[in-house]
Chain A
Amino acid sequence: AQSVTQLGSHVSVSEGALVLLRCNYSSSVPPYLFWYVQYPNQGLQLLLKYTTGATLVKGINGFEAEFKKSETSFHLTKPSAHMSDAAEYFCAVSDFPGGYGNKLVFGAGTILRVKS
């Protein structure tokens, strides 16, 4: 079964500093990986996804993630944090029993705090 581990339930950075949110996955098949962001009292918004092809994926709001098969990682980065980036971030992997479907398995989430 697919699973996701997010290292660090809380990450704190200063405004303008690098954001690095860690995600490791376990998958018995080539993984499809996602990063979502959740602002307080809202649903999930897709930041980016990796399916196949280029291992460096660019998303919205200046975020990007790199798929590293050898490390089973899909870490999320942003060169310069902004106050508006403060939110909870979820890494997810597709789990498709039977070879099809849209089920996602989520990590526990990382709350990003941005200090001024």
Chain B
Amino acid sequence: KAGVTQTPRYLIKTRGQQVTLSCSPISGHRSVSWYQQTPGQGLQFLFEYFSETQRNKGNFPGRFSGRQFSNSRSEMNVSTLELGDSALYLCASSLSQGLPGNTIYFGEGSWLTVV
């Protein structure tokens, strides 16, 4: 059974550009979450999608957005990139949303460098 797949793994963007990251959850999983990991702020929750609807959102500016498709695949977009957006972006999937103790599986992440 394939795990959570994220693409691209590494990318470099210029300040002011936008970027789209993609995530394919584990087959059958309907909940997808995104996290940002930086040395200074650690792991921070961005948002969670379930059945194509954003269910939870973290404290990030509106430049960070996401969506989920009918096949549960998800994308996140960051517009007007800033140097501080350089980070590892992790996608996580879970079977359902109803149980808070669900096991949450993470992908390998997408390394974004903004120059």
Binding site for B on A (CB under 8 A): 32, 34, 36, 42-46, 49, 51-52, 90, 92, 94-97, 100-109
Q: Report the nearest A residue to B42, measured CB to CB.
A: A108
Cβ distance B64 to chain A, nearest Cβ, rounded Å: 15
Given A43-B90, A97-B56, A108-B42, answer yes or no on A102-B106 (Cβ-Cβ < 8 Å): no
Of the residues A49, A52, A105, contact of B103 by C-beta under 8 Å: A49
Query: B107 near A: Cβ within 8 Å?
Result: yes
Q: Report the nearest B residue to A107, measured CB to CB.
A: B42
How many chain B residues sit at the interface, stated as a range, is: 20 to 34
A103 touches B106 (CB 8 A): no
Given A94-B101, A97-B56, answer yes or no on A103-B48 (Cβ-Cβ < 8 Å): yes
CB within 8 Å of A: which B83-107 residues: 90, 92, 94, 97-107
Q: Which residues of A contact B55 (CB under 8 A)?
A: 100-101
Cβ distance A9 to chain B, nearest Cβ, rounded Å: 11
Given A97-B56, A108-B42, answer yes or no on A102-B108 (Cβ-Cβ < 8 Å): no
